[in-house]
């Protein structure tokens, strides 16, 4: 029976669930996917009798409920409220489940779906089980289900997506339409896929597996970081151990507590220390550089022995020409040594021919522009490496590298522009260049500026004449080989250089004619026989030793020498000129030209070098004879040697400044300083203070004026006096005659060194501050310690007042004219103005005799009285004249009174020492002059110490720097060391050097033979 009840309950529940799924489908048409198996649904269909509707389903449910009345369940401990709706129905009605059935109110809703309600309310018989029925509040359940998190997220996502799309559309509308600007982008960008094979690029790139191998192992990195994190975040014991090993943790914490301002100050201090350190290093390096430069300049240092290297024959000959270039820049008839002179019209191809001979593009080039602005002497010699170097430089340019070739061309252009003076276009100064390389013919060539016919804008007006004079100077040498370059692509009638060459070498004994650009000439010239006439010497009005035709390229400056040589050989192999025998094989190509020029050059050298050596021997003999006759007791010193001698004398004279005695320094300093400040002391300090009526006012006035004077003027005046004294002593030692040994040839140099050293010297900036303190302390002291100082002060005061009194009497004498004695003895008379001054003086002296205590200024009534008295005697006088006369008269009266008072104070030291108050012997003026005298002595002593300890050494340093600068400036030495003796010694030195080099060259030439 229990078994059946369980089965019946389970079956009924299944039927009810099936009916609940069928009802919505029949009533509403909302098909929901059932969660029960299809077998159960088919069972429900069979039980309902096919296509049941809502009413029949309700009747079936009611039958099921009646069946459930008699069923009983088993008690259990699982609460029913926590189960699913389907499970709840199974647990309530299945007889085998051991669940306790709770009391609840029965309703149809607990056996049906919550989401699908029946269309009609069914009246079911209540089930009397004793349970509380459940309240059917379906809107709340529906809201709870609709308000779940997934629906909120989904709704927010939909709304946010719509808002983002709307915002994106707004931004898109704000962006301007760039389709109108597609023309800016080149068409090749749009067609790049036609020119670039992206598939090949993609295959060339590494695949992801290769990149993964190259990428770091992030798993290991994460593992290492986690281990490191665990290490620092371990427990307290590990943390304690870590802290125990870190002894500086407390200091690190303290450093982190430092404020930002202190950190900034610390960094600034470190930066300052670093700057000072590097500044000291820089100063040390500059000093070492200067010392090394001095060693280089001392060429006659006997301690330096250079190892003699064996030089080639052409290098020895080139050195001779370099010395000759320095000896006689004008290349007059004294220089007859052979050299190959390359001349031609502008852009005729001179430089190209020279480059083909040198086998390197070494010269700057320009199409139609003048590039050769000064002569370039190129010495060609054979060597293992193809290099070039300048005479005055040790840098070697590798001619096989394009970078060195460009640097060489740039350096030649810079040297040319440097040689050209301001306002000129060309220069006669020569640039010396040595080129060595395998297969080069040994010779010396000189590339000259191209001859022009018209001076264009931007050129100096005398450019044409200057080029002609330079060319003539080189071609006048009877042993010079003239390499005449003629452009074959232009008409022969336009040639300028051929006339010049025919004038210099009318017989053609040393001229080689070269026709360039033959390839263009063959194309452009209508008659090939014209080229034959040129090569045979029948067209141009000139004669030559040989005629050559060459091709120096296609006009492209970037062509290499090898390419030009191949093109030249290929052209002449296929040329009709050779095939028709218009040109001979030995007359073409630059190789044959260089061989012929080299043979001619060495032939000329062997024929003329010994003759030139003999001429220089004769020149040397003449110069030595002239020296012996004019300067028999003097050694032959050239300009550099004379400068070194003068340098030593000047340094000796500077050293003699340190031998001046301290007493002499202090005497001249004290005397010069008093001469500079005496007027201010007497006129602005003593005389105004002496007009006061008592000693207190006198001392107050003196102290105030001395303080103002010390603060503003006195230290500066003292430094000026010391600097002038140093200059005077330095000039005295520099210009003091040394007797018979004095050489006046150094006078201009010494004067220039003295002026430049004084100009560079500046007194120490801190001298005035220290002097101000010392002078202020000296003037504050009023205590005269002994009678000797008292007498010295009185003597000093008397001298100062006597000098002022003498000046005043001279001024009065000039004002009133000579007295009666001079008028009788020297027959001198007074002028009308002097007579008026004399009458006025006499009247004012009468007034002073009546009142010897008269103040310094005249009252207006006194001026009127004097004028009336003079008018009564028939003398018309102006009030200003009375005042001027009164100034001198009263000044003389005051100085005489002060001298008398000074004489009385000779016995006043006792009263001064005992501080007696005696109105007749108030010697405050003596104390004032003692203070001034003591200040002068202390200032002179301080300045003397500064002079001997600091300034003399600084002046000596300045003199050395000036001499070093003069030693580097050859023009300055030529300007300051002049005279016949200097020039004769220079010529003698150069001629000896030339002769020695020529003798060595001739000896090597004979050995080569």
- Pair of tokens at residue 616: 């220089």
Query: Of the segments 270-284, 293-307, 475-489, which one has the largest average pLDDT value?
Result: 475-489
pTM of the model: 0.55
The confidence score (pLDDT) of residue 798 equals 92
Residue with tokens 């010079």: 480
CA distance 1 to 630: 168
The confidence score (pLDDT) of residue 270 equals 82
CB 75 within 8 A of CB 99: yes
Tell me the mean pLDDT in the region 68-73. Answer: 42
* Average pLDDT of the chain to the nearest whole number: 76
CATH assignment, 328-607: 3.40.50.300
The confidence score (pLDDT) of residue 152 equals 72
Strand 481-487 and strand 340-344: the pairing is parallel
Calculate the alpha carbon distances from 84 to 92, 95, 370 in Å: 12, 18, 109
CA distance 662 to 945: 8
The confidence score (pLDDT) of residue 190 equals 63
Adjacency order of strands within the sheet including 546-549: 397-398, 387-390, 431-437, 376-382, 443-447, 340-344, 481-487, 511-516, 546-549
pLDDT of 121-146, one tens digit each?
444 444 444 444 455 567 667 666 66
pLDDT exceeds cutoff 70 at 766: yes
CA distance 112 to 135: 14
Q: How confident is the model at residue 243 (pLDDT cuts 50, 70, 90)?
A: very low
pLDDT exceeds cutoff 70 at 239: no
The confidence score (pLDDT) of residue 25 equals 37
CB 506 within 8 A of CB 369: no
Calculate the alpha carbon distances from 686 to 246, 696, 800, 892 in Å: 79, 14, 11, 15
Per domain, the residue ranges of the chain are 2-136, 141-234, 256-302, 328-607, 657-961
């Amino acid at each position: 029976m229990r078994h059946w009840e369980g089965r019946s309950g389970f079956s009924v529940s299944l039927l009810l669930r099936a009916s609940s799924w069928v009802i919505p489908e029949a009533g509403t048409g909302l098909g929901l996917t059932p969660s029960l198996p299809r077998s159960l649904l088919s069972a429900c269909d069979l039980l309902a009798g096919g296509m049941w509707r809502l009413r029949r389903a309700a009747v079936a449910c009611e039958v099921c409920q009646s069946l459930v009345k008699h069923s009983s369940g088993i008690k259990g401990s699982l609460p029913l409220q926590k189960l699913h709706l389907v499970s709840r129905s199974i647990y309530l009605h299945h007889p085998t489940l051991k669940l306790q059935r709770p009391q609840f109110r029965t309703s149809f809703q607990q056996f049906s779906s919550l989401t699908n309600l029946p269309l009609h309310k069914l009246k079911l018989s209540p089930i009397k089980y004793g349970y509380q029925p459940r309240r059917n509040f379906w809107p709340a359940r529906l809201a709870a289900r609709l308000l779940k998190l997934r629906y909120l997220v989904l709704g927010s996502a939909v709304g946010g997506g719509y808002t983002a799309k709307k915002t994106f559309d707004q931004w898109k509308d704000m962006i301007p339409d760039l389709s109108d600007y597609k023309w800016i982008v080149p068409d090749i960008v749009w067609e790049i896929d036609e020119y670039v094979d992206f598939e090949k690029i993609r295959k060339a790139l590494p695949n992801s597996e290769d990149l993964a191998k190259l990428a770091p192992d992030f798993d290991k990195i994460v593992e290492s970081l986690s281990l490191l994190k665990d290490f620092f975040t371990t427990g307290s014991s590990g943390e304690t151990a870590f802290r125990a090993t870190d002894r500086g943790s407390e200091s690190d914490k303290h450093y982190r507590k430092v404020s930002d301002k202190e950190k900034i100050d610390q960094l600034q201090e470190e930066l300052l220390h670093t700057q000072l350190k590097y500044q000291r290093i820089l100063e040390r390096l500059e000093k070492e550089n200067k010392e090394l430069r001095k060693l280089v300049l001392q060429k006659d240092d006997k301690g330096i022995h250079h190892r003699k290297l064996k030089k080639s024959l052409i290098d020895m000959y080139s050195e001779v020409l370099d010395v000759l270039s320095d000896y006689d820049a004008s290349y007059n008839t004294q220089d007859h040594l052979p050299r190959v002179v390359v001349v031609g019209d502008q852009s005729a191809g001179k430089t190209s021919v020279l480059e083909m001979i040198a086998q390197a593009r070494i010269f700057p080039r320009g199409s139609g522009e003048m590039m050769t602005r000064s002569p370039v002497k190129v010495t060609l010699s054979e060597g293992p490496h193809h290099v070039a170097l300048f005479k005055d430089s040790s840098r070697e340019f590798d001619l096989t590298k394009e970078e060195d070739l460009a640097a060489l061309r740039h350096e030649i252009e810079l040297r040319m522009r440097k040689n050209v003076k301001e306002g000129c276009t060309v220069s006669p100064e020569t640039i010396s260049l040595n080129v060595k390389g395998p297969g080069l013919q040994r010779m010396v060539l000189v590339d000259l500026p191209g001859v022009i016919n018209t001076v264009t804008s931007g050129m100096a007006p005398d450019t044409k004449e200057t080029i002609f004079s330079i060319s003539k100077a080189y071609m006048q040498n009877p042993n010079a080989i003239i390499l005449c370059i003629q452009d074959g692509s232009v008409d022969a009638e336009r040639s300028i250089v051929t006339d010049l060459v025919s004038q210099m070498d009318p017989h053609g004994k040393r001229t080689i004619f070269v026709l360039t650009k033959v390839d263009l000439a063959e194309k452009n010239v209508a008659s090939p026989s014209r080229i034959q006439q040129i090569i045979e010497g029948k067209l141009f009005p000139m004669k030559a030793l040989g005629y050559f035709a060459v091709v120096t390229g296609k006009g492209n400056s970037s062509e290499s020498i090898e390419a030009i040589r191949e093109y030249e050989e290929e052209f002449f192999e296929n040329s009709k000129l050779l095939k028709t025998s218009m040109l001979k094989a030995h007359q073409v190509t630059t190789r044959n030209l260089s061989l012929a020029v080299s043979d001619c050059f060495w032939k000329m050298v062997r024929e003329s070098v010994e003759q030139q050596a003999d001429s220089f021997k004769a020149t040397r003999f003449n110069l030595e004879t002239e020296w012996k006759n004019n300067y028999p007791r003097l050694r032959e010193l050239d300009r550099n040697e004379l400068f070194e001698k003068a340098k030593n004398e000047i340094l000796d004279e500077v050293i003699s400044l340190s031998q001046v005695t301290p007493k002499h320094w202090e005497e001249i300093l004290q005397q010069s300083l008093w001469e500079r400040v005496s007027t201010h002391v007497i006129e602005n300090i003593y005389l105004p203070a002496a007009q006061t009526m008592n000693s207190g006012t006198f001392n107050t006035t003196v102290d105030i004026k001395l303080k103002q004077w010390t603060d503003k003027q006195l230290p500066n005046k003292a430094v000026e006096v010391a600097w002038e004294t140093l200059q005077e002593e330095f000039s005295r030692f520099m210009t003091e005659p040394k007797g018979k040994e004095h050489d006046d040839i150094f006078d201009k140099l010494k004067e220039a060194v003295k002026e430049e050293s004084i100009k560079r010297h500046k007194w120490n900036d801190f001298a005035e501050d220290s002097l101000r303190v010392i002078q202020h302390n000296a003037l504050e002291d009023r205590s005269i310690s002994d009678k000797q100082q008292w007498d010295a002060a009185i003597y000093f005061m008397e001298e100062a007042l006597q000098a002022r009194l003498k000046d005043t009497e001279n001024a009065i004498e000039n004002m009133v004219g000579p007295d009666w004695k001079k008028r009788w003895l020297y027959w001198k008379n007074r002028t009308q103005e002097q007579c008026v001054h004399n009458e006025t003086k006499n009247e004012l002296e009468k007034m002073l005799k009546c009142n010897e205590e008269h103040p310094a200024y005249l009252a207006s009534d006194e001026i009127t009285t004097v004028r009336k008295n003079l008018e009564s005697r028939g003398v018309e006088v102006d009030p200003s004249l009375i005042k001027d006369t009164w100034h001198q008269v009263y000044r003389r009266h005051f100085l005489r009174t002060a001298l008398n008072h000074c004489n009385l104070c000779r016995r006043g030291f006792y009263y001064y020492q005992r501080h007696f108050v005696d109105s007749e012997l108030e010697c405050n003026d003596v104390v004032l002059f003692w203070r001034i005298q003591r200040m002068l002595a202390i200032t002179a002593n301080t300045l003397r110490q500064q002079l001997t300890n600091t300034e003399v050494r600084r002046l000596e340093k300045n003199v050395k720097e000036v001499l070093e600068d003069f030693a580097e400036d050859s023009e300055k030495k030529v300007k300051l060391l002049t005279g016949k003796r200097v020039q004769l010694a220079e010529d003698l030195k150069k001629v000896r050097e030339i002769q020695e080099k020529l003798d060595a060259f001739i000896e090597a030439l004979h050995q080569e033979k």
